[in-house]
Structure 1
Amino acid sequence: MNDAFYIQAARFLSGELNSSEHEAFVAQINQNQELNKEFQTIAQYWNKMDDQKSTRFDSEQAWSKLEHRIANQQDEKRKKFIKAPKMAIAAAIILGFGLLTLLVAYFLPGHNQIRYVAEQRMEITLPDNSTVILKKGSELTLDERFNKKTRNTNLKGQAWFDVAANDNKPFIIEAARTKIEVVGTAFSVDSRPNRPDLIIVKSGTVKVKHKYTAGSMLLQADEYAEADKKSLYAITKVNPNYLSWALQDFYFSNATLDFVATKLEEAFGKNVVFADSSIGKMQISATFKNQSLKEIVDIISETHNLQYNFADENVVLKQRN
């Protein structure tokens, strides 16, 4: 990792990049998946740094180290950065932990909120050790006092939550039409415009409140609820592949390979491409649980006498010669 990257990373964290620089930096980190977990750690520490006095000393040390590394090549930028308190904090964090992640996670201007924006399927470990999987196109924002007395979040899109148990700090999700509260459980929330909120519980108990009425309910394992603008109501079943993007479990019954390809792309972030459109019309009945993309494609290929190869972000299937 070169020094220019550390400079840009610090500017990114402090919000000093212009729009074109921001887009370029996001593209850069999105192309390197090895940077993922490191930024999650950085984000956790950033969120905890409320005392500027205590962070200033560390930041001075960080800049001293950085200055030594770049041999005065970025002196003008350094002078500019030191004027921003969080800029210095970012430098300390980056030097302490080394790398950023593919996450498009950034800090809202004037606040200490952290927002995770999923450019593709994204797994996150939050500061309270809860884990979240965001579907592509979704956003999760942590309240600036997250993990103090409560653990408040805001969701736009689809997410799978595995919440670390803490009876003293309820985990709260503000969705489009509902407010969801738990203390430790595994569940999914779908909160998208122009469609009902959908809550799916796999374990534990989830309390759901409707934002526009007095409606509320407690959901247990394997129970579901929807909420439109007028009411909150229980539902009895959901599509078995509804959570395949998050859990990577698949249930196909006479499914076309076109449909299968869509679900695999959502779950693994690879494009499944057919050399001949007729392949997409082939059907398969199968269940896949805890299997890799390669293992699944192996079975599909054997079933339909296909061959395949992985090329960059694509998996290409074609008829065997």
Structure 2
Amino acid sequence: MEDQMYITMAKILNGEATAAEQQEFRTWLAADPRNTEAFNELKAVWTEADVLLEAPRFAHEPAWDKVSSRLFTADKAEEPARKVIAFRPWMKYMTAAAAVLAIGVIFLKNFNQEARMVSVLASADNQEITLPDNSHITLKKGSKLEYPKKFDEAERHVALEGEAFFDVTRNEKQPFTIDAGAATVRVLGTSFDVKSGKEVAVVVSTGKVSVTSMVKEDVSVVLTPGEKGIVSDSQAHKQTVRSDNHLYWKTGELLFSNKSLEHVLGELQAYTGSRIRFADKTDAEVKEQEVNISFHKQSLENMLTDLCLVTKTRWTKKGSEYIISSKQNATPQALCCYLRAVAADRCLLCTAIRSAVTPLCSKKEDSQHQAVHRVHTARDWHRDFLEQFLHERKQAGHRYRNRTNSR
């Protein structure tokens, strides 16, 4: 085995191997079963080295005895039940050398990793980041990005937990790779959105992006602008994206054209992380009505209010859940209170309007005043009240003129 492969294995165990080195390592493992056995031995040494580093003081002689006893179990006959792998003498010395190398890499990692890596957590809000190659990243609130202060000459590698939008500076000689959990994202220069996790979701705005499973190389998709790819350990598929709504977390903008109310509410629920549902026994006609609407940096409640205005529905909140129901016609009592609120200027016509509708009202003044406040501040009732107000105004105007002419 070449010394370089031991170095590659050490990088694999330390999480510092490049994409090319990972590929080389997988090819080497598949070439010979003995390679897997050798790697497992080194992995055991690596684990032992981590335990040793946790001790207050590092005793070199006992540590080496402990490590070598794990490496050379093939020379001991006290465990007949275990499968024994006979190493040639030169392999023992090479493995021992690799153990020393592994321990050295651990020390190097402990002392220098903080100096070489930058870790950014967007804890309070979305955060803008400029990388050493002048690539720009918008990191979603609650997400984390790690990258080196200086990229390797062979590639630019970063690690993402959460979601971020990347605008990558093009450099064909230095590919840009993202460790996103279940998959690796690889580009030359483009802009795209990445959501990491057990399923990695990528939506491309410009350029071309390759997304490959970390477990199976043949599980991958190549995406172009307007396409979304979802890759897990064993599956990959893509679909067409017809809007930029997936960037709501970044832009605060949503656009819905010829979509059903049910679809719009489902999207709002997904993008805001809130619970939204229809009230029980809501008619299918209400759910399926077509909606054309856009939102720009609005709160969820403001978006629901605007949506209810154009769909003749209303929303209420129960605990943490928003419930959408059909809007009922305004009662005469509520209409009376609304008219009293909007007719507060005491003009002659408004007086006539109040006189015309007063008989419809309850005589409990406290309840009326409470209703005035409720109705006046409920935007989703405004349209129905306004329509009825205009009708009542017309009728009251007729009655007022009739009374004036009779005097």
Sort the TM-score into its range (normalised by shorter chain): 0.3 to 0.5
How high is the TM-score relative to the length of structure 2? 0.38
TM-score (norm 1): 0.47
Larger radius of gyration: 2
The one of the two structures with greater contact order (alpha-carbon pairs below 8 A, sep at least 6) is 1
